[in-house]
Amino acid sequence: MKTLIKNGMLVTATDTFVSDILIEDEKIARLEPDLETDPDHLVDATGKLVMPGGVDPHVHLDLPMFETVSSDDHYTGHKAAAFGGTTTAMDFVVLENEDFAHSVNLWMKKAEKAAIDYSFHMNLTQFNDRIAKEIPSLMTMGIQTLKVFTAYNGRLRLDDGSIFKTLQIARDNGMLVMAHCENGDVIETLTGQALAAGHKTPEWHALTRPAWGAVEASLRMAAMSAQADSPVYIVHMNAGGEVDMLKYARERGAKVMGETCPQYLFFTIDHLRRPDGAKWVCSPPMRTEQDNARLWEGLSDGVLQTVGTDHCPFYFDGTKPIVYEGSEVVIPGKELGRDDFTKIPNGLPGIQDRMPILWTYGVGAGRITPNQFVEYTSTNPAKIFGLYPQKGSLLIGADADIVIWDPEKKVKYGAAHSHQRTDYNLYEGWELTGYPEKVFLRGTLIVDGDEWKGKRGGGKFLKRSIGEVL
């Protein structure tokens, strides 16, 4: 089966040029202007942009939390991702019973319904001598990343000594440590004080997780990385001071990389003060307009390396069903914390929103270039996480994960336009210019305008190799 994409303007992380693309056997077979061939399918991309499919390095699908579970699974979340131009997503395995193989198998089972290609990171939330010896076994499972937490005392957090040992193990085995950076001790203290004083509204979720804690923990993680001579990837950077710390550490040779997410570019603590403020509750929380601006600078100036989503959606009102693919679905959601911010499930939808929102308000507003857009949403994640050039590229031999992007398409965005399985959208009513027209996964058309052509089980698990330090 041959597919020929004609007359498109190709946009990669480094170049912009006119070329045709011939797809054969799931791969990019030829890449040159004015290709003469007899394809089975011909796609005219005149006036359109052609980009590699997005790679989302940070999602949470079918994740148990509090008394519920994140409302997108590995089919619904992947379907939404595809409509937004993303063709690869990386989820996090929850470590159970100190058993890596058992935990990975549980997530493999969940992902049997996957609709795009996917891989896993391992949440390292326990540490002892036995676990330390077993960490390298993850490489044989195709997983080269470990996520550690400096917050969530008594649940997810490791002490600094254990994190440092993890960095050393990662260094010796070609692995990468990812880090959620907040100050768990400060959070626990402030949360207890807030509850004792009767402060239970959503804004207190942010007030009990100060930005200084994220800034301090990010520099502390960078310092441990430098001392261990082991790279670290700091997830969901949300405070302007974190960009400053990232710049400081990288200028001094530390192998530190930073990710931010769209929500931290646009929203502030004031959104948590709205009557529907629970919609914006996630960890780390929203900050200030000054933080938004500094994060944009971090992208404009190339201090940050990626834009992920931390997609972890919950219904705003899980007492009411929504209709998804013709059936009513109801899942408990943020109403669980109606009277207590500590019981609001932490997380937001965003897997479909990432690329369209970043295009309009990043590229369209002149904050980043089209090449930086591809770099942050596709190529850099693929490189860092050991998938390049199979993913994140438009090169001969690469998987034909391709997005045909209409830069002129106007969309009034919101829940009605989104395929994320939840009852709200953070960007309700936003006017977008530029949107995916067609999305190919390994050469197969899975999104055609508003039509879903993908399927459950159409995605493949990706065993990753050692990634690059950017």
How does residue 26 score in pLDDT terms, banded at 50, 70 and 90?
A: very high
CA atoms within 13 A on the CB side of 217: 33
- pTM attached to this predicted model: 0.97
Among 1.10.220.110, 2.30.110.10, 3.40.718.10, 3.20.20.140, name the CATH number for the domain at 54-384. Answer: 3.20.20.140
What percent of the chain has pLDDT above 90?
99
Q: How far apart are CA 202 and CA 114, in angstroms?
A: 33
Amino acid at site 364? G
How many other β-carbons are positioned within 10 Å of the β-carbon of residue 289?
A: 12
Check whether 70 has a pLDDT greater than 90: yes
Please tell me the predicted confidence (pLDDT) of residue 197: 98
DSSP classification of residue 53: P
What percent of the chain has pLDDT above 70?
100
In sequence order, the 6+-apart residues with CB closer than 8 A to the CB of 357 are 262, 266, 413, 427, 430, 432
Amino acid at site 196? A
Whether the Cβ atoms of residue 457 and residue 349 lie closer than 8 Å to each other: no
Whether the Cβ atoms of residue 256 and residue 246 lie closer than 8 Å to each other: yes
Q: Where in the chain is the domain with CATH 2.30.40.10?
A: 2-51+389-452
How does residue 357 score in pLDDT terms, banded at 50, 70 and 90?
A: very high
Q: How far apart are CA 302 and CA 63, in angstroms?
A: 32
Q: How do residues 453-464 score in pLDDT, each as one tens digit?
A: 999 999 999 999
Check whether 36 has a pLDDT greater than 90: no
The three-state secondary structure class of 54 is strand
Q: Which of 235, 270, 233, 271 is nearest to 249 (CA)?
A: 233
Amino acid at site 51? M
Please tell me the predicted confidence (pLDDT) of residue 110: 97
Q: How do residues 360-378 score in pLDDT, each as one tens digit?
A: 999 999 999 999 999 999 9
Token pair of 265 as six digits? 């570019």
Q: Which CATH architecture has domain 2-51+389-452?
A: Roll (2.30)
Tracing tokens 């693919």 back to the chain, one arrives at 325
Average pLDDT, integer, range 112-134: 97
β-bridge mates for residue 41, sequence order: 3
The three-state secondary structure class of 368 is coil
Q: How far apart are CA 160 and CA 390, in angstroms?
A: 35
Q: How do strand 27-32 and strand 16-24 relate by DSSP bridges?
A: antiparallel
Peptide bond into 389 cis (omega under 30): yes
Q: Where in the chain is the domain with CATH 3.20.20.140?
A: 54-384
Please tell me the predicted confidence (pLDDT) of residue 372: 98
Judged on CB neighbours under 10 Å (0-12, 13-18, 19+), 297 is middle
How many other β-carbons are positioned within 10 Å of the β-carbon of residue 456?
A: 14
DSSP classification of residue 77: H
Average pLDDT, integer, range 28-45: 94
Average pLDDT, integer, range 393-422: 97
The three-state secondary structure class of 318 is coil
Whether the Cβ atoms of residue 390 and residue 399 lie closer than 8 Å to each other: yes
Check whether 281 has a pLDDT greater than 90: yes
Whether the Cβ atoms of residue 93 and residue 126 lie closer than 8 Å to each other: no
DSSP classification of residue 277: G
Please tell me the predicted confidence (pLDDT) of residue 233: 98
Q: Which of 122, 108, 103 is nearest to 74 (CA)?
A: 108
Whether the Cβ atoms of residue 422 and residue 405 lie closer than 8 Å to each other: no
β-bridge mates for residue 88, sequence order: 55, 117
- What is the total residue count of the chain? 470
Q: What does the buried/exposed string (b/e) look like for 2-33 if buried means 16 or more CB atoms within 10 Å of the residue's CB? A: bbbbbbbbbbbbeeeeebbbbbbebbbbebee
CA distances from 452 to 53, 321, 444, 445 (A): 16, 22, 12, 9
Please tell me the predicted confidence (pLDDT) of residue 327: 97
Token pair of 257 as six digits? 């990389």
Q: How do residues 291-343 score in pLDDT, each as one tens digit?
A: 999 999 999 999 999 999 999 999 999 999 999 999 999 999 999 999 999 99
